[in-house]
Amino acid sequence: MRTLLSTIVSSNPIGHLALSIIKGLVIFLPYSVAAQNDCIFNNDIEGLTADWIERSNTGYYFKWDEGVKSYRAQISRKESIEVSSGGCIHFTTSLNYSTSERKDLNDVDFWISKALELAEMFQIEFFLQPLRSRAYSLEQRGDKHVIYSFPVEEFSNKSTEGILIEQKGNTIVLEMSYYIN
C-alpha cells in the first residue's frame, strides 16, 4: 500500500492532492500530508549538519539559522562559513565561504586552494580528488562570477554545479555543493 501511495504521490501532476486507492476505496489527502513520510533520505538537516561539523573539528563556533536551514560561523572579521547537509528527495551537502576582503575572482590559485582547504577541513570527499588532481575546468566566467566544473564521469549518483565564486555586493562567496539522487 505504501509503495502504491508513494508512486501515486510522486507522479501526481497537480501536486495539491495525493490519490490513494486502497481496495477500491478512493481517499484524497493533502499532498504535504501524504509526502511527509516518503522521504528517501534523512531530512534532519539541523542534526545531520551538527554531526558533520562535530566530525570536522574545525574549532569554529557555528550557530544554527532556522531561516536558511544552515549553520554559520564567523571565522574572522571579514570571513564566514555556512554549511548544510540533508534532504528528503535529494540529499544535499553545501558549504559557502564568504569574504569581504578584496580578492580577484579570476585568481584561480587562490580560489582552488581555498576550495581544497575547505574540502579537507570539512572532509568533503566528493571534492577532494578532483581538486587535488586539478581535474576541473573553467565552465563560465562573467563580470561577477566564475564557475569551475568537474568531469561528469567522476561521479555516479551524485551531481554538482561545480564551484561557484560570485561577487555579491562587497562580498565574494565561494559556493561548493553536491547532491545525491
Question: What is the pairing mode between strands 91-99 and 145-149?
Answer: unpaired
pLDDT over 80 (residue 155)? no
Collapsed DSSP state (helix, strand, coil) of residue 103: coil
Cβ atoms of residues 88 and 45 within 8 Å: no
Model's pTM, two decimal places? 0.73
Q: 180: closest CA among 162, 161, 160?
A: 160
Which cell goes with 60? Answer: 569554529
Which sequence spans correspond to the domains of the chain? Answer: 2-35, 45-180
pLDDT in tens, 95-152: 999 999 999 998 999 999 999 999 999 998 888 888 999 988 899 999 999 999 887 6
Q: How confident is the model at residue 83 (pLDDT cuts 50, 70, 90)?
A: very high
Q: What's the mean pLDDT when you consider all of the chain?
A: 77
